[in-house]
């Protein structure tokens, strides 16, 4: 006898509606709870929750594995800078880090320094160099515009180079373009012809190009006074937006905005503002108080603590710079004594000086050549201090110390001089360490601290110092000429110690005008060996360049810099905002 179907069987049949193979309708699913026990309802509800969570997790995983965050236009960045701008003009900016920073943001050169690839074409699309290294032919981009919308042409390049070479403009860059002529066969071609090969020439062409259609209206003698020096028109990634002055007329802040037609591609940040501060402490306080998000330069002690506290993202690339003590033998009779200079060298512990100055952010040096430069001896070791040897040398040369005295004398003259340095925590710390080390051999060293303006306009320009503790930068091409050739011992040359050696001069000149890399090696080696014999200065250390960035700013990594403004080498790629792409 056939049995009647159970209640559950009826419920299932009602739910599924076994008509063909149709899937249950929503109306049928809603009837399910009426036919389930409490336990079955709980199990069914749990199963639904598990399915929902699993589906959600799978969806999230799919989303995360397939989405890409891309930079997007938007956002601002505010940075504190040491000093105040005077000439936002490529012809004059070389003497000021602030001017160089703003010039880098707003101008472009035929070539540019890239932190990853070195010298690369910029306004130039490409270039060729003749076999004899005397003719450089550049083809300009056809999509580069001035900030006012005019096309960048060869006429702008001709005007800029002519201005640099014109003595009425008083550009410190003129030495890099002496012995060269420039012509433009058409509006997109520029040809430079050199009297003789000049190895650093491509590096010189990183100078920003000026818009001829605006500057040709300004008389050369009036160029330093032109409004275009403060509100420039360039072709770079950013353009002038606004400036703020205090009631004394000093610039307090300067804002540049994105160039929407920049030829290298999209500029992401809407604007960048530089705020100007007079000293390191004032600048560091501004970072701590969050008045600015970053800083153009930091002292080592401040950089370490700010980075540790998470206030900043620290940039610390190697800088093509050396810090040294330069001896002015013409002003100080004591330092004109070869034995005194040799004793000071023997007494100097370069490692301790570097540590006192920058902690771990510097590499001690014993040569005027930096690692990687032609002629640099990578096997050479940093000499250790020899206090007893320095004392013995001075004693043997008549520099004696009476019982109970702390300073040596010779023929009634004290072993005394003044060490001048910039008002910078790093340099002051280094000066104090040198003072301590040299006091140990009986030298009475006074320290004179000066501000940036006094350093440039009085100390360096007039060579008004006994000994000067300062840093110098070689630049994109390690050209020895401006720093160690005897002709550069007067301003604006950078041979601060007045070093003069005919053989070294000849070797440097030969290296400059030769395409043979071996000549550069020979010049470097001769400079290093002669330097060690004559000791016109004490090479101390190569610093890392320390600067602060906002932790919320991306795309800012720079592997190497030759000058501080090189941190902006790829500034068009900096961004704060992102967009999702699949």
Q: What CATH number is given to the structural domain containing 531?
A: 3.10.105.10
| Cβ atoms of residues 448 and 418 within 8 Å | yes
Rounded alpha-carbon distances, angstroms, from residue 312 to 79, 97, 302, 570: 11, 21, 11, 20
Q: Are residues 126 and 197 in the same domain?
A: yes
Q: Are residues 260 and 118 in the same domain?
A: no
Reading the block at residue 236, the tokens are 């770079």
Q: Are residues 144 and 183 in the same domain?
A: yes
pLDDT on residue 275: 98
Q: Cα(197)–Cα(40) distance, rounded to whole angstroms? A: 92
Residue 102 domain-assigned (yes or no): no
Reading the block at residue 170, the tokens are 């008083």
- The enclosing H or E element of 444 equals strand 444-450
Asked whether the predicted pLDDT for residue 459 surpasses 90, the reply is yes
Q: Give residue 355's pLDDT band: very low, low, confident or very high (50, 70, 90).
A: very high
Q: Are residues 539 and 416 in the same domain?
A: yes
- Global pTM reads 0.79
Asked whether the predicted pLDDT for residue 253 surpasses 70, the reply is yes
Of the residues 42, 68, 94, the one at which a domain ends: 68
Q: What digits encode the pLDDT tens for the residues 269-291? A: 999 999 999 888 999 999 999 99
Q: Cα(243)–Cα(408) distance, rounded to whole angstroms? A: 55
Q: Cα(462)–Cα(281) distance, rounded to whole angstroms? A: 28
Q: Give residue 51's pLDDT band: very low, low, confident or very high (50, 70, 90).
A: confident
Q: Give residue 97's pLDDT band: very low, low, confident or very high (50, 70, 90).
A: very high
Which CATH number goes with the domain that contains 203? 3.90.76.10
Q: Give residue 59's pLDDT band: very low, low, confident or very high (50, 70, 90).
A: low
Residue 90 domain-assigned (yes or no): no
Which CATH number goes with the domain that contains 260? 3.40.190.10
Of 519, 494, 541, the closest CA to residue 367 belongs to 541
Asked whether the predicted pLDDT for residue 504 surpasses 80, the reply is yes
Q: Are residues 283 and 249 in the same domain?
A: yes
Q: Are residues 485 and 336 in the same domain?
A: yes
Residue 95 domain-assigned (yes or no): no
Residue 572 domain-assigned (yes or no): yes
pLDDT on residue 38: 74
Q: Are residues 288 and 347 in the same domain?
A: no
Q: Cα(294)–Cα(172) distance, rounded to whole angstroms? A: 30
Q: What percent of the chain has pLDDT over 90?
A: 74
Q: Are residues 560 and 521 in the same domain?
A: no
Q: What digits encode the pLDDT tens for the residues 13-49? A: 444 444 445 566 766 666 666 666 777 777 777 777 8
Asked whether the predicted pLDDT for residue 206 surpasses 90, the reply is yes
What is the bridge-based pairing of β-strands 135-140 and 124-129? Answer: antiparallel
pLDDT on residue 63: 58
Rounded alpha-carbon distances, angstroms, from residue 142 to 10, 103, 126, 192: 81, 22, 12, 20
Reading the block at residue 219, the tokens are 């008389």
Q: Are residues 539 and 557 in the same domain?
A: no
Whole-number average pLDDT of the chain? 90
- Domain total for the chain? 4
Of the residues 235, 267, 289, the one at which a domain ends: 235
Q: Which domain holds residue 394?
A: 318-543
Q: What digits encode the pLDDT tens for the residues 531-548? A: 999 999 999 999 999 999
279 or 237: which leads in pLDDT: 237
5: left (phi over 0), alpha (psi -120 to 50) or beta: beta
Q: Are residues 402 and 419 in the same domain?
A: yes
Q: Cα(98)–Cα(45) distance, rounded to whole angstroms? A: 68
pLDDT on residue 15: 43
Q: Are residues 18 and 157 in the same domain?
A: no
| DSSP-assigned states of every residue in 324-342 | EEEE-TTT-TTTT-HHHHH
Asked whether the predicted pLDDT for residue 412 surpasses 60, the reply is yes
Q: Are residues 307 and 353 in the same domain?
A: no
């Amino acid at each position: 006898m056939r049995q009647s179907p159970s209640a559950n069987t009826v419920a299932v049949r009602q739910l599924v509606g076994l008509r063909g193979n149709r899937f249950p309708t929503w109306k049928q699913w809603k009837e399910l709870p009426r036919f389930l026990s409490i336990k079955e309802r709980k199990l069914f509800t749990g199963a639904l929750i598990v399915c929902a969570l699993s589906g959600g997790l799978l969806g999230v995983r799919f989303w995360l594995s397939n989405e890409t965050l891309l930079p997007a236009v938007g956002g601002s960045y505010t940075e504190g800078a040491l000093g105040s701008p005077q000439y936002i003009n490529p012809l004059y900016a070389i003497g000021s880090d602030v001017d160089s920073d703003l010039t880098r943001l707003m101008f472009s050169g035929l070539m540019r320094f890239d932190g990853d690839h070195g010298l690369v074409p910029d306004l130039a699309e490409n270039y060729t160099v003749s076999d004899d290294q005397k003719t450089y032919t550049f083809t300009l981009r056809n999509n580069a515009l001035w900030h006012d919308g005019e096309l960048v042409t060869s006429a702008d390049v001709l005007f800029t180079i002519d201005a640099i070479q014109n003595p009425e403009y008083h550009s410190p860059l003129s030495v890099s373009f002496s012995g060269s002529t420039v012509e433009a066969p058409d509006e997109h071609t520029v040809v430079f012809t050199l009297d003789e090969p000049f190895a650093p020439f491509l590096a010189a062409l990183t100078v920003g190009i000026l818009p001829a259609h605006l500057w040709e209206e300004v008389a050369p003698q009036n160029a330093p006074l032109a409004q275009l020096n403060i509100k420039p028109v360039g072709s770079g990634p950013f353009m002038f937006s606004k400036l703020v002055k205090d009631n004394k007329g000093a610039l307090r802040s300067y804002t540049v905005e994105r160039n929407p037609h920049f030829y290298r591609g999209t500029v992401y940040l809407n604007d960048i503002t530089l705020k100007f501060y007079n000293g390191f402490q004032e600048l560091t306080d501004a970072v701590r108080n969050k008045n600015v998000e970053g800083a153009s330069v930091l002292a080592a002690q401040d950089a370490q603590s700010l980075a540790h506290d998470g206030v900043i993202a620290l940039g610390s690339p190697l800088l093509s710079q050396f810090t040294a003590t330069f001896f002015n033998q013409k002003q100080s009779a004591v330092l004109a004594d070869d034995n005194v200079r040799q004793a000071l060298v023997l007494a100097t512990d370069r490692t301790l000086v570097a540590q006192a100055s920058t902690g771990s952010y510097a590499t001690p040096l014993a040569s005027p050549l930096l690692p990687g430069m032609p002629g640099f001896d990578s096997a050479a070791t940093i000499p250790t201090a020899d206090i007893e040897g320095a004392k013995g040398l001075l004693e043997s040369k008549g520099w004696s110390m009476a019982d109970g005295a702390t300073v040596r004398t010779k023929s009634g003259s004290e072993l005394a001089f003044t060490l001048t340095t910039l008002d910078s925590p790093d340099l002051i710390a280094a000066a104090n360490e040198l003072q301590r080390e040299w006091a140990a051999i009986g030298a009475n060293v006074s320290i004179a601290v000066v501000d940036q303006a006094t350093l440039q306009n009085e100390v360096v320009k007039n060579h008004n110092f006994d000994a000067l503790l300062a840093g110098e930068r070689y630049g994109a091409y390690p050209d020895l000429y401006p720093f160690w050739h005897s002709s550069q011992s007067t301003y604006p040359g950078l041979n601060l110690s007045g070093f003069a050696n005919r053989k070294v001069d000849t070797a440097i000149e030969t290296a400059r005008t030769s395409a043979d890399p071996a000549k550069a090696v020979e010049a470097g080696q001769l400079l290093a060996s002669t330097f060690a014999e004559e000791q016109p200065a004490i090479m101390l250390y190569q610093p890392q360049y320390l600067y602060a960035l906002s932790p919320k700013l991306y795309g800012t990594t720079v592997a190497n810099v030759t000058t501080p403004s090189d941190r902006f080498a790829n500034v068009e790629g900096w961004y704060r905002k992102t967009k999702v792409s699949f």
